[in-house]
């Protein structure tokens, strides 16, 4: 396991079989520039046949319903997990909603570096598995 700045990985080129990001990219402060930088770094450190696995929030009907529920104090008091989600959203509102508002940009950025093997949106999440592109 490696923990560090996703835009400046202190790893050699082509040294990793798989990179998994779960719920980290929607925190990028400057999505339009940071996402390109992060995906480029992930691409760089992956082996030729490496895979990138991504799970991130995604705007679906389910997530819209959850957002509506987060605005109801009585529901937040009754359901601790909903309250935790609502508190998280309040703390990172700017990057979270910016991420959710740019699905075409995100998918386009992913396609520049990875060949999708799985790309599925449901239950408020994007699930993506991509194989490293040879020449991005």
Look at residue 96 in the predicted model and tell me its pLDDT: 98
Can you tell me the mean pLDDT for 112-127? 98
CA–CA dist 23, 88 (Å, integer): 12
State pLDDT tens for residues 7-63: 999 999 999 999 999 999 999 999 999 999 999 999 999 999 999 999 999 999 999
Residue 1 has pLDDT above 90, yes or no: no
> In which region does residue 123 sit, left (phi positive, over 0), alpha (psi from -120 to 50) or beta (all else)?
left
User: Which whole-number Å values give the CA distances from 28 to 38, 57, 62, 93, 109, in the listed order?
Assistant: 9, 13, 23, 12, 14
Look at residue 2 in the predicted model and tell me its pLDDT: 67
State pLDDT tens for residues 61-89: 999 999 999 999 999 999 999 999 999 99
Residue 3 has pLDDT above 90, yes or no: no
Look at residue 19 in the predicted model and tell me its pLDDT: 96
Tokens of 17: 């079989």
């Amino acid at each position: 396991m490696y923990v560090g700045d996703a835009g400046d990985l202190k790893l050699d080129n082509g040294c990793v079989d798989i990179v998994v990001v779960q719920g980290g990219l929607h925190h990028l402060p400057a999505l339009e520039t940071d996402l390109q930088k992060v995906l480029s770094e992930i691409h760089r450190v992956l082996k030729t046949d490496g895979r990138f696995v991504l799970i991130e929030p995604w705007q679906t009907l389910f997530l819209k319903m959850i957002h509506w529920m987060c605005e109801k104090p009585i529901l937040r008091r009754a359901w601790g997990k909903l309250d935790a989600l609502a508190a998280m959203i309040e703390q990172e509102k700017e990057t979270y909603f910016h991420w959710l508002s740019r699905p075409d940009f995100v998918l386009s950025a992913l396609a520049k570096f990875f060949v999708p093997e799985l790309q599925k949106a449901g239950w408020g999440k994007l699930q993506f598995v991509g194989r490293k592109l040879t020449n991005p």
